[in-house]
Structure 1
Amino acid sequence: MDHPEEKEINDSNGETSKLTPNVVMTEQDKIPYPKRVFLIFGSEFCERFNYYGLKAILVLYLKNKLAYDPNDATVLFHIFTAMTYSATIMGGIISDVWWGKFNTIFYLSMFYTVGSIIISIGAVPLIDLSPNITLIIGLVLTAIGAGGIKPCVSAFGADQFKIPEQADKLSKYFSLFYFTINAGPLISTTVLPILRGNVHCFGENDCYSLAFGVPAALMIISILFFVTGKSSYTQVKISSENMILQIFKCIKHAVHTKRLERKTKPQKNLLDYSIDKYGIELVSDIRIVMKILVLYLPLAFFWTLFGQLGSRWTLQANRMNGNLGFYIIKPDQMILLNSLLCILFVPLFEIIVYPILNKIGVRRPLQKITIGGTLTGISFLLATLVEFKIVSSPMHSVNMLWQVPQYVIMALGEVLFSVTGYAFSYEQAPVSMKSVLQSFWLLNIALGNGIFVVITKMNIVESQAHEFILFASLMFVAMFIFGIMAHNFKNNTMLLK
């Protein structure tokens, strides 16, 4: 009988050889790929179709149908985005402490679906409902649902793999997941503007109710995809405490204890006052997280600019000519360029760009993030040039293809900034804090959109071109500050090597 870890086989020359490593691989390969994750992919595709499709046509709906001023339409768009990403913290806490990932995704998806349906019904002109009120109610429910499930879905899919035996399959899963979250927006931003503009319903020359209704239907399909695998899903047991709550409790305890003991038992740092209750390991982990969160602060400006693809850039396209001769581009279709370019650029960067950057000394994640943010600022300078051209030309005479360069530079910046940022957050966080940092990375998106709302409401500039210049300048300043902070971060924490 063969040894369980060795097996002799005959090769083509009749000689025998021992293939111990092959047997180990065979044992690992006996664990089947969790096909149930494809239900999660399907669910995520439908959900992303809904979210980005809604955002693609939202500003034009506010401006053209509800008679919003362009500034007010843009502000509401960014408030909705900020609400969505603020809800990620809530979703993470609910998932960790009370409901678990499956129930959190399921119940909050119901909120999401109801919100989408309300928006669609409110857009039907024959129904005696206030479209403004129904839209606001629908957007609030959608924001709660979309934001609440965001920190749970990819993690729930990852839970279906057995680690470390399926570590290689898990990495491929994340690649497929990233493809899925871009494929949904790519299709929705292509199809929904056509339904909005080319279909005539209820006696009008457009059909926003259909354009909103299709995403609502996709959310129902998303839930059906997800619940189909309920009996086969691997569900991780929930903990009694959420790590984000632990962080706030630890800091609160430190502040309270310092007031009582700063004279009798002085400590070098604030968090040292919590070591007796929470332990040195948790306190050390919180210190690392706090240093990374401080580093995040200038990065919020990236999301201030990036969020304008669906607002300011769409409104800019709305004043341009989409006639290509063989096809007329809708202004809210231009944003599909972002998803398409990201899908193309991600593998291109892995194969060509990153090896080149490594050769010229750009290896650290923070360097790539800085370059990505700088490119984002440059994209807004290109948008400024387009804006000057629009203003100096007859209405709707400038072709939308003039926007392509700014979208290309923005997509290059996004890949360097966003994809690298997600990886940086995961790699640099302590084991106990990886989900926490991912949640705060998403919360930074809410902060960036909040910054846009504040700046817009201040009415600092009078023209759109000057506003683009303002945001580009803020991005460059933010990246300059970030570059200094990144250098100090390396020297002080030694996390980056």
Structure 2
Amino acid sequence: GSRWTFQATRMNGVIGSWILKPDQMQVINPLLILAFIPIFETGIYPLFAKCNLLIRPLQRMGVGGILAAVAFILSAIVELQLEPTYAVLPGSGQAQLRIFNAYNCPMDLMLNSETSGTVNGLSKLDLLDLRVSGTALYNANITPSQDCVDVTPPGSLFDFQVVEGQAKSVFITREGNEPVLKNISGYDTIEKSDDGYPMIRVFYNVLTGNELKFNQDGGSKNFNYDLNPESYQTEYIAEPASFTVMLGNNSLGQVNLQLGGVYTYILNEETATTTAKLITVTSPNTMHMLWLIPQYVIMTMGEVMFSITGLEFAFTQAPVSMKSVLQSGWLLTVAFGNLVVIIIAEAKFFDSQANEFFLFAGLMLLDMALFCWMAMKYKYVETPEEDNAGANLPLEAPKNKSRNGSTSQPLNSEDKGRNGVENKSFNRDE
């Protein structure tokens, strides 16, 4: 459940003007259970019974467990489709560097006297596989391209430090006629937000203090932020929408913030002109959240066939004195199942969530194979029908006269055990 909810935070829940929240997907399961119980009892089971299938409880439970495994396979397939939109994180012995260019012309970059690439205008250069052990100091040399007008090459190098396992950004902007490389403090947040909302940060170089406004087009979700000329960055989480960006009273165009996206908005204000552009750091969610419905449907079918049938099986097959104990034991298995999930999740056997889903599916199929083998050898305890044998007996049995003329009802051996021994000397007429 929690794994699938987390999966939903990496998906697009926009339906028209309404946004489907990841937590709301959990409502599907109980609603489907309420709908499937009568459907299975009045439709599915009788239909299969005509083909002599799904008659016994253990048969239904086995099929239900297999359906649960299929649901996990579907969730793994969905996860494989989502992984290309996930952030690329630095691993052990690695660091990441992103160079943002606020100029509207390319800049050539050299790190530690080695050519690293060209940063296009209003764009970024990603260096995602820097080999670092602990920390490393880099010096950068910026060379404006021939397309850069009235830009003087800087007279010095720029130093910054990268740390193993972290992502860092630097920002090329203008000071006078020279480009400068500003070192962004802290480390980058490149992972998607926990709630799936877009995250945006602004790298800016403004001449005077001003207000940056994000006004939602046709809506009321507006965000205003004060820009300080002594600083050059700010970041926040916004709601998904299309916004018109205003710097003071000047419009800088429109930006579209989508669910799951991580963005950097670069802004460079000059006397004659202001340049700005939204750059995507981590791709937004592209797969729609409704693609989770098939796995929810199949898992709910498995729950109806396994859990509900299992509770009924545990009650009807248990001795009278053990029915409550068996019901408690059945519920205890849920706790053990949650414990297994916690152990696997905390152990982090896999980097990919899809592999974890495949593991759950494999464990479920293995468990169902063992379950079906045991079910084939199980002998059901037939519930005895109500004893109606005495219902057809006459109310009064034929009477026999004794030697003294009295009548008595013949007693069989069982009756004698219950009613005592006949006293032949007793006379009813006396």
Instruction: Indicate whether the TM-score tops 0.5.
Output: no
Q: Whose strand fraction is larger, Structure 1's or Structure 2's? A: 2
Instruction: State the TM-score bracket (shorter-chain normalisation).
Output: 0.3 to 0.5
> Scaled by the length of structure 1, what TM-score is found?
0.36
> Scaled by the length of structure 2, what TM-score is found?
0.42
Q: Whose helix fraction is larger, Structure 1's or Structure 2's? A: 1
